[in-house]
């Protein structure tokens, strides 16, 4: 079994909005790709960890993709602020 990367850029004002949109993405992936697992999409993720950068700086997409949390295909997706009200969600998803 392998893994595929999945990423999204979303607009949100609060972390609660980010989590809500993450749950909506999961439901959309399950609708499109099924509930049987190994879809290589966020349908395989059950949690999103939003990480803050020190000093309130913005992340780059590459930094978030290289974050240790991002490498676990069975673990959570990672999310971080990449601009004002703009979040990047990323994860390795079992396929």
Phi, psi of 2 (to 5 degrees): -115, -160
Residues contacting 73, CB < 8 A, separation 6+: 3, 44, 91, 92, 93, 94
Domain residues for the domain of 21 are 3-94
The count of domains in the chain is 1
Q: What is the pTM of this model?
A: 0.94
- Digit-by-digit pLDDT tens for the chain (95 residues) are 688 899 999 999 999 999 999 999 999 999 998 877 888 999 999 999 999 998 989 999 999 999 999 888 899 999 999 999 999 999 999 88
């Amino acid at each position: 079994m392998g893994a595929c990367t999945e990423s999204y850029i979303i607009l949100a004002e609060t972390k609660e909005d980010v989590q809500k949109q993450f749950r909506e993405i999961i439901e959309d992936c399950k609708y499109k790709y099924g509930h049987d697992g190994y879809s290589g999409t966020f349908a395989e993720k059950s949690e999103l960890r939003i990480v803050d950068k020190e000093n309130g700086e913005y992340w780059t997409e590459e930094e978030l993709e290289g974050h240790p949390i991002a490498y676990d295909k069975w673990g959570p997706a990672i999310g971080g602020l990449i601009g004002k009200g703009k979040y990047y969600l990323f994860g390795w998803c079992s396929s």
